[in-house]
Amino acid sequence: MSPVEARDAAFAEPTLPRANGAPVFDAPWQARAHAMAVLVVERTGRTWDDFRARLIGAVTESPDRPYWESWVAALDDLVDESVGGLSGGAVPGGGVPGAAGDGPGAC
Amino acid sequence: MAGFGAVVVEADEPVFHHDWERRAARLTMAAMLSGHLNGRFRHAIERMDPAWYLSSGYYEHWLVAAATGLVEAGVISQDELDERLDAPFPLAQPVRAPRLAEPGASSDAHRFAVGERVRVRDMHPAGHTRAPRYVQGRCGSVVRLDGVFSVPDVEYHCDGKRLEPTYSVRFEAAELWGEEGDPVHVDLWESYLEPDDG
Amino acid sequence: MADGHHHPLPTTAVEDRVAALEALLVDKGILDAASMDAIVEHYEHAVGPMNGATVVARAWADPDYRARLLADGTPAIAELGFAGPEGDHMVVVENTDAVHNVVVCTLCSCYPWPVLGLPPNWYKSPPYRSRMVREPRALLAEMGCVVPDEVEIRVWDSSAEVRYLVLPQRPAGSEGLTEEELAALVTRDAMIGVQRL
């Protein structure tokens, strides 16, 4: 599974509460999104400051969208730039298997 | 909870004082990420035997709540825990409140406005509530309108969720404690409140 | 509950109970120790009060940012790259010559993780949680924070989903400092409200 598919699987939340049709993201989603970001950072050999810089960039680019959309965009950036995909281990958020050795451009 | 004496501050304290605390945090985060805990976690801490709760630290509360929540979710069993420990594995007390068949209607339009006087209902719940006891029955003014969120009183006892607006309400010390002092602001769900008709 | 029985107070050491649950969760595939180590380390080292200090310093240096921060904390904090669990609904409360703010969670120990990291023991303790709403002025003084009589203390009990950050007053004599130097002046305790800078 590619990093992007792993991310999408972790973000998939069939029981997502909604108000007025817009998702009200609750704590379990946030926790999974955050854990995903931490693991992507760790396994791509980047630093948290790299992710943070991308988050800043994404928020600056679109200041009116919810921060979680910028978060996903920042994570996408980081994943796209990673060479060699994610290494080893399970990714939290429903037993999604790791994506070892998918190679560059797997997403 | 009142009259607890001095607040002890440790300078430059580490996040984890012992390796077991770190491991308790680790397994709790894993349990949370598994999606099986959710509201059970916080409720379980509140269901700990009071003497045990007061005599144990934060990360032991996490350990108990993670174990209790996972047993209640059916992911692990009491027997499995007892077997691993080779001794009885203590958990929080069971949920006593009955399950709610229906969550009730959600709402996303604030009923009260900033400046309005409100009274907090006397909740007397069998189960969970996040209306602190010290404001129940007390009157205050709405100072801020906050977002729409799932009512914990419902979520922890029902398969469905009920979403409601929340508020920050300011209470004067004289109202809360019967003497002059500084105001306290408490964040409350709409169903905890009713108009203060004087 | 699946079982009808529950046990009273523990008779075993907490370390042993942690080890037992940990082993069980590893076997059930719920705990992947290596992955989770990365996450725990993140909260130990990468997330902490230095984040909040960056936010405060920016607010001191940039009046437009300060206005945005006070109007809606979450997106303004996200502008600086800080966001995540327990920080999704941030309200920033400013200290002024007339008002001193302090934060508590009487029901548990809710705390704004993305800007302050994990809470210190005293914040989670029963005495802090019960006394800060009951006698804030006296407790603050005991903790070394003397608030002048004419300044109102506003206690914020984070009993729902909002998480609070106190924006301390900029110390006198700090004009001309860079943002980095300003951030170095900001303490965790000032951002909870138990210290005045």
Are the C-beta atoms of residues A56 and C58 closer than 8 Å to each other?
A: no
In a domain, B58, yes or no: yes
DSSP per residue, B23-63: HHHHHHHHHHHTTS-THHHHHHHHTS-HHHHHHS-HHHHHH
Asked if pLDDT for residue B194 goes beyond 80, the answer is yes
Asked if pLDDT for residue C54 goes beyond 80, the answer is yes
Q: What single-letter DSSP state applies at residue A67?
A: H
C48-192: CATH superfamily: Nitrile hydratase alpha /Thiocyanate hydrolase gamma (3.90.330.10)
Query: Is the domain of B72 the same as that of B142?
Result: no
Q: Sort strands B184-189 and B163-171 into parallel, antiparallel or unpaired.
A: antiparallel
Per-residue model confidence (pLDDT) at position A28? 62
CA distance B29 to B154: 24
Please state the pTM of the whole predicted model. Answer: 0.88
Are the C-beta atoms of residues C16 and B85 closer than 8 Å to each other?
A: yes
Are the C-beta atoms of residues A96 and A44 closer than 8 Å to each other?
A: no
Query: Is the domain of B189 the same as that of B124?
Result: yes
Band the pLDDT of A93: cuts 50, 70, 90: very low
**pLDDT tens digits, one per residue of B3-43:** 579 999 998 899 999 999 999 999 998 998 888 887 788 88
Per-residue model confidence (pLDDT) at position B185? 98
A34–chain C Cβ distance below 8 A for any pair: yes
Are the C-beta atoms of residues B14 and A16 closer than 8 Å to each other?
A: no
In a domain, A7, yes or no: yes
- We report the CATH number of the domain holding residue B158 as 2.30.30.50
In a domain, A16, yes or no: yes
Q: Which residue of B has its CA nearest to C16?
A: B85
Which percentage of chain A shows pLDDT scores above 90?
Answer: 7
Contact B148 A93 (CB under 8 A): no
- Name which of A42-46, B185-189, C20-24, C156-160 the model is least confident about: A42-46
Which percentage of chain C shows pLDDT scores above 90?
Answer: 83
B105–chain A Cβ distance below 8 A for any pair: no
CA distance C112 to C4: 38
CA distance B72 to B54: 23
Contact B35 A28 (CB under 8 A): yes
Per-residue model confidence (pLDDT) at position A24? 38
Q: Which residue of C has its CA nearest to B78?
A: C3
Per-residue model confidence (pLDDT) at position C6? 55
* Residue A62: domain span: 3-81
Count other C-beta atoms under 10 Å from residue B14's C-beta.
11
Asked if pLDDT for residue C28 goes beyond 60, the answer is yes
**Domains of chain C: which residue ranges?**
14-45, 48-192
Query: Is the domain of B67 the same as that of B124?
Result: no
Number of domains chain B contains: 2
**pLDDT average, residue stretch C90-117:** 96
Higher pLDDT, A37 or C128: C128
CA distance, residue B191 to nearest chain C CA (Å): 13
Number of domains chain A contains: 1
Tell which B residues from 68 to 87 touch C, by Cβ distance under 8 Å: 70-72, 74-81, 84-85, 87
Token duo for residue B4: 């607890």
- Name which of A7-11, B53-57, C83-87, C98-102 the model is least confident about: A7-11
Asked if pLDDT for residue C79 goes beyond 60, the answer is yes
CA distance C125 to B98: 31
CA distance B8 to C147: 20
* Residue B56: domain span: 19-85
In a domain, B179, yes or no: yes
- Name which of A37-51, B57-71, B183-197 the model is least confident about: A37-51
